[in-house]
Structure 1
Amino acid sequence: MSVTTDTRPFSAALRASTLQVHDRANYSPYMRALLGGELTQEGYTRLAIQYYFVYGALEAASDAMAGHPVGGEFVFDELRRLPHLEQDLAHLVGPEWRSTISPLASTQAYVSRIREAASWAGGYVAHHYTRYLGDIAGGQAIRRTLEKNYDVAEAGAHFYHFDGIGSAPRFRDAYRAKLDNAPWDEAERARVIDEALVAFECNVAVFDELALRLDEVRVAE
C-alpha cells in the first residue's frame, strides 16, 4: 500500500483542514445574528467579555513561549489584544468591569485547553493561528458591523484594530511563511492540525453557549 504525502505548503494544508469548522463558526446562530445587526450592543458585549478570558490565557502562553526556538517565532507584541479588550470593556461595561464579568462554562473549557496545549510549541501555534489570523482577516467584518449597526467604533472596538502590524496581507503572508518553515515533520504537522481543529471547536462552543440566550439581546422589532 502506498502512502501519499501532502506536498502542499503547511500553511495551505492547515487552512484547508480547518475550513469546514471555520465555516461552522462563521455561520453559527450567534455570529449570524451579530453580523446581521440583529442584536443590541449588549449582545456584542457578551462576546467581548468572553474574549477577555480567552486572550488572557493565550497571551500568558505567549509570555511563556517567548524564548522558545520554535514557538517564540510566533510571539508578536503588536498582536496583543488584552490591552485593547481592557479599553473596550471599560467602555462597554463600565469602570467596574473587572468585578462584574465572568466566563461562560465553554470559555472556561477553552481557557483550560489553551493552557494544556501551550505546553508544546505546536499546540501554542495552533491556538495562536486560529485566533489571531482570524481576527486580522474575518474579524474586520465584525468591526464594520459594529460601526454600522451597534454604534461602536473606536471606543468599544479597539480589539479589531491592528494598526501595529502595518499591511495586513503582508503580515499574513509572513505568518504563513513561518508556518511553512517551522521544523516540524509530518507527524508533528498532523498534531498541529488536530489541535487547530480543537481550537476551532472551542470557539464554536462559546458561540453556541452565547446563542442559548440570544432572545435576551435581540433588537426589539
Structure 2
Amino acid sequence: MTDDVDTVAEGGLDTEWGAIPGADEIRRIGLSNALREVTAPLHRRAERAGVISDIVRGRSSRSAYALLLRNLHLVYAEIERGLERHRASPAVRLIVLPEVYRADAIARDLETLYGSAEAADAVPVLPEGTAYAEAVRASAEGDGVRLIGHAYTRYLGDLSGGQTVSQVLAKTLGLDAGARNLYRFAGIDGLDAFKQRYRDAIDRAAFETDRPDAILAEGMRAFRFNIALFWAVQDAVGGASEPSGEPAPPPV
C-alpha cells in the first residue's frame, strides 16, 4: 500500500471504510483505544468469518487449522522482519518485543501438524495469504510505522481471544501443546500485565510519529486481510460456516 490509498480529510484520514480520527484526537484518547474502536466492526466480522468461526464452534478440522497456520506463518515472518528492520525507529522500537514474536512458534506447530518442516513448506500458500504478507511487507516501507497496525491486530489477538481458541483446539481437535505453540507465551509472566504494557507502548508510539492516523488505517486493512484469509481457508478445505458475502480485501 502507498500513502495515497487513503486521502487526507479535515481532522484525519478518509478511508473506504469511513473517516478515522486525526493525530491530536488519537493521542488524546490513546492509540490503542483508537485502534480498538475503529476496528471493532471489522473485529466482529472476523470472529464470524470462515475457518475461525468453525474453530470457535468446534466444527473445524485439523487440516483447516494447519492450512490457516501455513498462511499466517508468512504474515508473522513479514511483521517480525519489519519490526527488526525498524528497531531503531522512535515509534516502532517501542513495540519491538521479541517475547511476543510468533513465527518460530508457528513453525514448530506446522512441523507437528504436517509431520515435518519439509512437508509443511511443500503446502502451497493461498493467494489471500500471499496478499496479506505482501501488504505487511509494504507497510514496512519508509519509516515503518504502519507495521504497528498489523502488530496490534495479530499479537494482541493471540494474547487475548487466541487463548480461548487454543482451549477449543485442545478440546475439539485433540491438539496437544506441540501443535498450539502459537498461543503459548512461555517468556511472558502474566498475560494481562503484558497486554497492558503492549497497549501502553502503542500509545507512546503515537507521540513518536506525525502519522498515527495511518496506523489506524493499516489496522483496519489488517482485519480485512484476516477476514479474506479466514474465508479462503474454509473454501479450500470445506467447512461448516456459510459464506457471508464478505468483500475482498482492499488492493495492496
TM-score norm. by structure 1 comes to: 0.90
Matched to 2:163, the amino acid is Q
Q: After superposition, what is the alpha-carbon deviation per residue over 1:47-101, rounded to whole angstroms, capped at 9, x for unaligned?
A: 1111111111111112211222221111111112111111111110012224412
Structure 2 residue 132 is matched with structure 1 residue 101: no
- 2:65 corresponds in structure 1 to 44
Q: After superposition, what is the alpha-carbon deviation per residue over 1:103-152, rounded to whole angstroms, capped at 9, x for unaligned?
A: 11011111111011112332011111111001110111110011100111
- 1:208 corresponds in structure 2 to 231
Q: Return the alpha-carbon distance in structure 2 between the equivalents of residues 10 and 70 of structure 1.
A: 12
**Deviation larger for 37-46 or 102-111:** 37-46
Higher helix share: 1
Runs of 5+ unmatched residues, structure 1 = none
Post-superposition offset of 1:186:
9.3
Does the residue aligned with 2:131 lie in a helix, a strand or coil? Answer: helix
TM-score norm. by structure 2 comes to: 0.79
Structure 2 residue 220 is matched with structure 1 residue 197: yes
Does the residue aligned with 2:187 lie in a helix, a strand or coil? Answer: helix
- 1:62 corresponds in structure 2 to 83
Aligned 8 A contact 2:64 2:234 in 1: no
Matched to 1:172, the amino acid is K
Q: Return the alpha-carbon distance in structure 2 between the equivalents of residues 90 and 214 of structure 1.
A: 19
> 1:9-24 residue pairs with structure 2 within 5 A?
9-24=30-45
Q: After superposition, what is the alpha-carbon deviation per residue over 1:16-71, rounded to whole angstroms, capped at 9, x for unaligned?
A: 11111011111113211111111221121111111111111111112211222221
Post-superposition offset of 1:182:
2.0
Post-superposition offset of 1:204:
0.8
Percent identity reads 26
RMSD: 2.1
Aligned 8 A contact 2:86 2:92 in 1: yes
- 1:134 corresponds in structure 2 to 157
Q: After superposition, what is the alpha-carbon deviation per residue over 1:149-203, rounded to whole angstroms, capped at 9, x for unaligned?
A: 0111211111110121211111111111112222448962211111110111111
* CA spacing shift, 1:196–1:93, aligned 2, 3 Å: same
Aligned 8 A contact 1:54 1:110 in 2: yes
- 1:53 corresponds in structure 2 to 74
Aligned 8 A contact 2:90 2:205 in 1: no
Matched to 2:123, the amino acid is I
Q: Return the alpha-carbon distance in structure 1 between the equivalents of residues 51 and 31 of structure 2.
A: 31
Q: Return the alpha-carbon distance in structure 1 between the equivalents of residues 111 and 206 of structure 2.
A: 41
- 1:89 corresponds in structure 2 to 110
Q: Return the alpha-carbon distance in structure 2 between the equivalents of residues 12 and 73 of structure 1.
A: 17
Q: Return the alpha-carbon distance in structure 1 between the equivalents of residues 152 and 224 of structure 2.
A: 14
- 1:113 corresponds in structure 2 to 135
Aligned 8 A contact 1:25 1:200 in 2: yes
Matched to 2:73, the amino acid is Y
Q: Return the alpha-carbon distance in structure 2 between the equivalents of residues 186 and 77 of structure 1.
A: 22
Aligned 8 A contact 1:30 1:214 in 2: no
Matched to 2:39, the amino acid is T
